[in-house]
Amino acid sequence: LMGRIVVDVMLNSEILDPQGQAVARALPRLGLDHFRDVRQGKRFLLTVDGPVTDSDLAQARTAAERLLSNPVIENFEVRVEDA
C-alpha cells in the first residue's frame, strides 16, 4: 500500500500569469467561451510507503516551502490524494 501526497503550486493572485492569459485568449477561438480567467500552476505527486502520516505531510510542506515553490510569488496547498 502506498500513499500519495499532492502539492499544488500556484502564482499569487497579484502576480501576472502570461501563460494563463495566453490560454484564456485561445479558449474562445476553440468555441470555449465560458471561462472568465485562467491561472496556470504546477502539481507534484509525492509517494510514500504505507498510509500518509502527519510526519509525511509535515515533510511535504517543508519540501513545498523550500524547493517546490517560490514563496515570494507562489502559494501552495498540500493534501492527501484519495485512493
Q: What is the pLDDT of residues 29-60, one digit of tens each?
A: 999 999 999 999 999 999 999 999 999 999 99
Residues 24, 29: Cα–Cα separation, whole Å: 10
Query: pLDDT-based confidence at 83, cuts 50/70/90?
Result: low
Instruction: Return the pLDDT at 11.
Output: 97
* pTM of the full structure: 0.88
Look at residue 17 and tell me whether its pLDDT is greater than 80. Answer: yes
Residue-by-residue DSSP string for the chain: -EEEEEEEEEE-TTS--HHHHHHHHHGGGGT----S----EEEEEEEEEBS--HHHHHHHHHHIIIII--TTTEEEEEEEPP-
Averaged pLDDT for residues 58-70: 98
Look at residue 23 and tell me whether its pLDDT is greater than 80. Answer: yes
